[in-house]
Amino acid sequence: MTTATAKHIPSQPRARATYEKLLAAAGELVAEVGIERISTNLIAERAGLTPPTFYHYFHDKYDVLGTLGKRLMDAQNALVPIDADQNAEGIAAMLIAHVDVTRGFPGGHWVMRILRAVPALEHIRIDSHREMARVLTEAELAANPGADHATLFAKMRLVVEIGYGAIEMAFEEPDLDVEDLMRDAARAILAVVPRQP
């Protein structure tokens, strides 16, 4: 099992289109058949390509799924406003946007599940969450220079996990009202790192 480092990320338009086809096919298939049954042959077949073409770009199924996971983490992280003045309403809206991005992503919440369940890929989620906590810590320190860095990082790491957990829960419990869930998550986040009114 490899760790989500594609062999060859193409720059030429035609090759890039092939690469994207493989990623889209993997996202569709993981939602349909699950991590155990997805295979490189199935991914290639769904993309309308041959297995050797798959192996030109990726080492194995974990490589392509790891690439999807990294992309999803990057897309989610791009939604996080980096400032120290977020209120509950803004945090809830940002978390709802995360749910929407995940819904529109190939494989969406299944990719999130894979990043928690597959040991060889969990580092993608953890590294992403640590980086987001680092960025949030730096923003908070800029607004509050007297804060203790280590304590603040631990709090921001928890904040990231609360948000991510709420996003996962929105998919695991589809009968829950997403807006209510994210408002509750926002209040939990503000309980960890209080904001000025």
Domains of the chain in start order, with CATH, are 13-64 (1.10.10.60), 67-192 (1.10.357.10)
pLDDT at 1: 44
Residue with tokens 């992309």: 71
pLDDT at 81: 82
Handedness of CA 178, 180, 183, 185 (dihedral sign): negative
pLDDT at 10: 83
4 half-sphere exposure, CB direction, 13 A CA radius? 22
56-59-61-63 Cα dihedral, nearest 10 degrees: -110
Strands (E) across 4-119 are located at none
- Mark 181-193 as b/e (b = at least 16 C-beta within 10 Å): bbbbbbebbeeeb
pLDDT at 111: 96
CB 48 within 8 A of CB 57: no
CA distances in angstroms from 39 to 32, 64, 82, 95, 108, listed in the order given: 12, 10, 39, 32, 18
For the chain (197 residues), the mean pLDDT of every run of 10, in chain order, is 58 92 96 94 97 96 96 94 80 96 95 95 97 94 91 96 97 96 96 70
